[in-house]
Amino acid sequence: MIFKHTYHFFDRLEDKVRGRLSHFPIIYAFIGGVGIVIFWRGVWHTVDFLMNFFFIASTSLSTTSEAGLPWWDGPLSITVGTFLLLLVGLFVTNFIGNEIIISGIKGEKKIAEKTIQEVEEDMITVAHVHMQNEEIIKRLDRLEKRLNT
């Protein structure tokens, strides 16, 4: 029950933040970029720390990395980056992508899994839609000419 309320609170917060930031695309992109960099910095530092801790034989095992950073520097960066990306609504779309999400919802196969025939059918469908689009543009041009005369 408490998870449900927490989830809905943060879902509404994300919607509000995205709604406001969408009016300022440069700031939105900057915040998203900072979130991505902080997230990957955390991944990098965490893996470096784990490699030093488990695989590099040293005479002294300390709780700080070689750069003098505490062990929790990486996990903290991952947490901050994840929170920032979730807050602005970019976490899932950044790592998975819109096309994959949409194709999963539609139940489509990945291009690599499609047969040649399925790819050709998709190409024919796209060409047909393109032709229809061109026809609509021509009709609109004709209507504009009639209205202007």
38-47, 72-81, 101-110, 139-148: the lowest-pLDDT one: 101-110
pLDDT value at residue 34? 93
Please compute, for residue 148, the number of CA atoms within 13 A of its CA located in the half-sphere on the CB side. 6
Reduced to 3 states (helix: H, G, I; strand: E, B; else coil), residue 110 is coil
Question: pLDDT: is 100 or 80 the higher one?
Answer: 80
**If you ran DSSP here, which 8-state letter would residue 23 be given?**
T
Instruction: Please count the other Cβ atoms lying within 10 Å of the Cβ belonging to residue 32.
Output: 19
Residue 91, token pair as written in the block: 């976490």
- In angstroms, the Cα distances linking 5 to 1, 8, 12, 36 are 7, 5, 11, 27
Q: With contact defined as beta carbons under 8 Å apart, do 46 and 52 qualify?
A: no
At residue 76 the predicted structure's pLDDT band, cuts being 50, 70 and 90, is very high
Give the residue from 97, 52, 102 showing the smallest Cα distance to 73: 52
Give the span between the Cα atoms of 35 and 86, in whole angstroms: 9
Q: pLDDT digits over 29-67, tens only? A: 899 899 999 999 999 999 888 888 887 755 455 555 556
The residues spanned by each domain of the chain are: 2-108, 111-149
Query: What pairs with residue 70 in β-bridges?
Result: 64
Overall pTM > 0.75: no
Q: pLDDT digits over 106-118, tens only? A: 666 666 566 777 7
pLDDT value at residue 38? 94
